[in-house]
Each structure stands twice: as C-alpha cells, then as structure tokens.
Structure 1
C-alpha cells in the first residue's frame, strides 16, 4: 500500500510538517528581505510588510515599565519618548469604551497570558509610527443587544494614517464595533498570530479612496465571527497566508456574512489558508484583484472569486509557508497570547501615575 493510502498518514504528515514549521517561520528585513536561518513563532522581530522601509522596532531602546492600572498604561503609552510597556493583569478601562492613546515608538506587551484591556480601545492617531502591540487580550466592549454597533465606535485597536505597526499574538473578543480597524492610508502593517473571536465586524481596512496600504496578515484564527475576516478596501498590497477561518456566525445572511473580501482597487494574494464551514470564503469586487493558491476549503459555500494578477509577495520579502493541512493545528496552538512572551523583559523604571 502506498504511504499516502495508509490510515492516519495525512494526520501524521501534517503533524510532522507542522512541527518542522514551528521551528522557523517567515522573514524580516529591508526591501527585499532575506529570511534568517531560523527563528521561533515568538520572534521579537516583525516579518512581512512591517519589516520593510526601516522596519518596526516599537519601544526598543527605551525604558521598560510594568503597568497594572489604566492611569499608568495611558501615561506611558502616550509619552513622547520610547517605552516598552509590560501589561500585567487585567486593566478595566473607565469610562466604558475609553481609548488608550498610543504614541510613536512604543511596544505594548502582555506579561505571559495575563495582560488584558477590558471595555477599552488602543488608538493610534494620524502620524503615529513604529508601534508594536503584542500578547494582549482585548475584550468585552460590546453592548448587550447592540449587535450592529452603528452608534458606537468602540474598537479593539484603531489606527488612522500610521506607519510601521505590528499587531501580534493578541486575542480579540466581544468588541463593539471593529476588533481591529486599519484605516486611512496606514502603511507597512503586519497582523500575525492573533485570535479574532465572538464578533460581528471583525477586521476592516480602508476608509480611504487612496490605494496606499501594504499589509501582511498571517496565522490568524477567525472563529465565531460574522463579517470583515478581513474586509480590505483600496489596499495597494494585501498578503494573506496560513490563516484559519471557521465556526462562522450567522451564515444565513446571504451578503454580510463572509470571509476575506478584496474591495475597491485592492490587490490581494491568499496562500495556504484553511476555510471550514464558511460562507463566501473569499470574494473580490470587479475593480479589485484576488489571487488564491494552495488553500483548503471544507464545507464552504457562496463566492470563491479569483481574478487579476495581483502581485508577487516575494518581490517584497521572503517568507515561509506552512502547509494548508497543518494550519488548524498550528494556529490553534500558537495564536493568541503566549505564556513565554513578555516575561523575560526586566523593568528599568518603576511606574508612577503622577
């Protein structure tokens, strides 16, 4: 009997390939970056578009502080100088829906799996650059009975006209309205290893007629979400790979329940992703372009659009693709906050709220 016909062979192969892939992933560097010899899924260096044009270093070189309350978080996040801000424990924002303004040259990282921002938002205003938000849980700003959230603007993370942002290993849950909004000509953004769950409007990009944004979206898990998984409008380059979409909410909605949407004049490339029980897994406007290769579709319905040439991501950076069959196991294990991230950083300054 050939190997491929033996019972369980596919599961073993996927596990082996996933383990190999767990030891090294992706690439970093300057236009066009060469992949390092090896690096872990918890690398402190961004990959994809956030690694280009000078790179994204966050608060590297600044003082390291640990915060446990809203006043300290807001003080250091909004400071002019660089900071690495370790968030330890749960911070409940007051008033409900309050924004934490994040200034340039900041790293905000949860300590292990403990860092949480509840009923609040991280906001990056126009002109902000060089920001890393990692290993946080951002949750519970939704208002009961207000599923559509048209009269609120309580996002998880919202950025307007910013450059060089890395959003990595976070968990977003039960937000009103967008869990992550990348808006108004933001550039050089990477969104990796996040969990997006329990939401209506999940992850949107656009709010502009310009076609400027470059974004890499990889190894994210979208579960129990309805729309914008993500929706990408007028992005110059959108590279989506090794994402896992499943357990869609309200698939009976014939239009506004969907997976990936290439809108406006977006050029989108999807690679080796995994779609399970998803309506409209990927679709494109007539004015947009969408190339899909290597993905697995299981029990999907509706639109599966591909047209145009889009672009070649490898003209910008090198990266490692995990096999599509291994994506569910890899993403379930490695996405969201991780116990080892943020722990080794030692504070160099005692936080004060004065």
Structure 2
C-alpha cells in the first residue's frame, strides 16, 4: 500500500482569490443567506468545461488512477462477458452497452486491478448486481453507469441482504464518477477497510436508505474526495465517514431527504470516529442534521447553503486544508443545484469514443 505524503501546490492564493471574487460577485452571504440561490448557468457552460477524462482529487495523487488505459478496449452487453473481462489479470477498458441483468439476483461482479468500466453514453446499466473490489485491488475507474434494483421488499434497513451497488475493501486508487446508483439491497456505495486515494464525483445517489458509507475500520488511513454528487430521496450515510484521515466534500447537493420521523438515523454528512472532514460550498435543501461530527472527529464547514434544514450543524477542530494536497475547482454554493442536477449521473458524451 502506498503511503500518503502531503504536497503543497503553488497556486493556492490565486485560486482562493478567484473563488472569493466569484462568490462576492454572486452576492453570497453566510449560511442560509445566499442572495443568488437560483444562480443561472452561463450560456457558455458545457459538459466539456465541467470535467475531463482524468481523475482529480485524492485519486490523482501518489501515481494517479488510470484504470485500464493501455489495455484492450472491449464492449459488453451480457453478464458473462462483463464478468470475464472485469476479473481478468490484464488491463481492460470495458464499455457497457445497454442493460446487463445479473443472475442470481444480487450477485457480485468482481472487478480486478487496472480496469475501466464505463457505460456507453447513458445506456450502460447493471441491474440487480454489485460491482465488488476485493482486498488488494488497485487502479480502477467506474464511470457513467446506472446500477439499480437489487432492493428486497421489506428490507428497508438492509439487514437480510448485502446487495450493494459498489463495494470495495482495502483497495487503492479508485475513481467513481458520473454513475447513478439507486434502489439497491443494502448500501449504494461502501468504501471499506482502509481503502486509500479515492475520488467520488458527479454521481447520483437516489431512492435509498443507506446511501454511502466509508470506514469499517479502527485505522485512520482513508483519503477521499467527494464532489458534485446529488443525494436525492435518501435517508442516511450521505456520506457517513468513519476514521478517514482526510475527507474532502465540496459542491455536493442534498435534496428530497426521506422523512420517516427517525430523530437520529436520518442525516446528511457525518464525520465519525477520528475523521478529519472539510465541507465546502455544498447545498442542503430540506435536510435533517445536515452535517454532524463525533466529539473525537473534526469538521470544518465553509460556504454552504442550508435551506429549510433542522437539527445538528456541528463544526469543531481544524481538520486540514485540501489545497495542501491538490488544486480543485470550487463552484459557488448557490449554483450547485443547477450544476449538479445537470451534470451528475450518466452522460451521453461519456464512453462513446473508441477508448
């Protein structure tokens, strides 16, 4: 496992000044006081200006994450082909065209190291099956897929079936990007047991109880970037981050939280254990306990908008400065709902080329 080293980047002052100027120009105030909550997208805003095909954040560090780059490009439309190439020893870029129904219901598709699995346009789906990364797996990209429908009626708490959308244990260098994860049997995304150098960006977590959990360990090693994701119709773990060395959450949007009267286990972001968490310029609409922290954890929040929220808004400790590790584009919180609803989830422009 690669060890983590801090790296200070030289453009910090310039980037912060630019962000401050943009926020000032939009007239943003303190939490819940934004004057431009419905900030319009620029007419020039395009998909090309929002992302590249290269990972950012923690997944870009310590050698980076390239997935199956350099390997053979294959297109699959059935379970047998997907399972064959995903588990192979060689690197592959695996293009998923259409819906792949997984049998038996809830089964794992094992993903080995040096793989890219990408949906072709917005058509690629994995239906009632899980992408599973075993301990020691590294250098994996999962993009532009819909993974859906392994939910078992009556098992809202996910106690009888462990049917996640994506689960990984003790892995490193993984980029989860532009997927739609919905209506699964347990968690939508579980990042577990000391996984390192992870970025989760531009995904949709929808129609689910336990959306996104990080931890299942007493060690404090995980470094994770979570940006421009949309949590909608979810109840808890949005995410829950337990014992993360560094958890950087920015420009995420949480809306339409499931309201079932649960006073504790309905929440937004939770910094648990000894996690150091930084939240920046996110948007919470109608959320109970938008962000909270254990007394042993740290949570720094700046620039977010809270609309019709109730409950805990914990902030304590100094956490860390994400720009000590990497540069990033920080959008104003008022623009987040429009940006994230437009650009998260599977996109027609992704996965349509030859590689």
TM-score, normalized by the shorter chain, greater than 0.5: yes
Cα distance in 2 between the residues matched to 1:11 and 1:276? 11
Cα distance in 1 between the residues matched to 2:50 and 2:67? 18
**DSSP 3-state at the match of 2:109:** strand
Tell me what 1:221 maps to: 230
Output one character per residue of 1:3-32: Cα deviation in whole Å (capped at 9) or x when no partner.
97xxxx9378x225x567x469xxxxxxxx
CA drift at 1:42 = 3.8
Tell me what 1:15 maps to: 40
CA drift at 1:180 = 0.2
Cα distance in 2 between the residues matched to 1:260 and 1:40? 28
Tell me what 2:114 maps to: 105
Tell me what 1:349 maps to: none
Q: 1:115 aligns with which of 116, 124, 142?
A: 124
**DSSP 3-state at the match of 1:15:** coil
Q: Within the alignment, does 1:180 sit opposite 2:205 as a pair? A: no
Tell me what 1:34 maps to: none
Cα distance in 1 between the residues matched to 2:114 and 2:251? 29
Cα distance in 1 between the residues matched to 2:264 and 2:117? 36
Q: 1:124 aligns with which of 126, 133, 138?
A: 133
Q: 1:45 aligns with which of 45, 54, 59?
A: 54
Cα distance in 2 between the residues matched to 1:11 and 1:177? 34
Cα distance in 2 between the residues matched to 1:339 and 1:53? 31
Unaligned 5+ segments in structure 2 are 1-25, 28-34
Tell me what 1:81 maps to: 90
Matches within 5 A, 1:118-267: 118-267=127-276
Q: Within the alignment, does 1:323 sit opposite 2:332 as a pair? A: yes
Number of aligned residue pairs: give it.
323
Unaligned 5+ segments in structure 1 are 25-38, 347-354
Retained in 2: the 8 A contact 1:182–1:205? yes
Output one character per residue of 1:133-184: Cα deviation in whole Å (capped at 9) or x when no partner.
0000000000011111112110000000000000000001101100000000
Tell me what 1:286 maps to: 295
Tell me what 2:6 maps to: none
**DSSP 3-state at the match of 2:168:** strand
Change (3 A) 1:230 1:94: same
TM-score by length of 1: 0.89
Deviating 4+ runs (over 6 angstroms): none
TM-score by length of 2: 0.88
Q: Cα RMSD over matched residues?
A: 1.6
Q: 2:313 aligns with which of 280, 283, 304?
A: 304
Output one character per residue of 1:309-347: Cα deviation in whole Å (capped at 9) or x when no partner.
00000000001100100000000000000001000125x
CA drift at 1:251 = 4.9
**DSSP 3-state at the match of 2:336:** helix
**DSSP 3-state at the match of 2:49:** coil
Output one character per residue of 1:274-330: Cα deviation in whole Å (capped at 9) or x when no partner.
000000000000000000000000000000000000000000000110010000000
Tell me what 1:341 maps to: 350
Output one character per residue of 1:122-143: Cα deviation in whole Å (capped at 9) or x when no partner.
0000000000000000000000
Cα distance in 1 between the residues matched to 2:321 and 2:46? 25
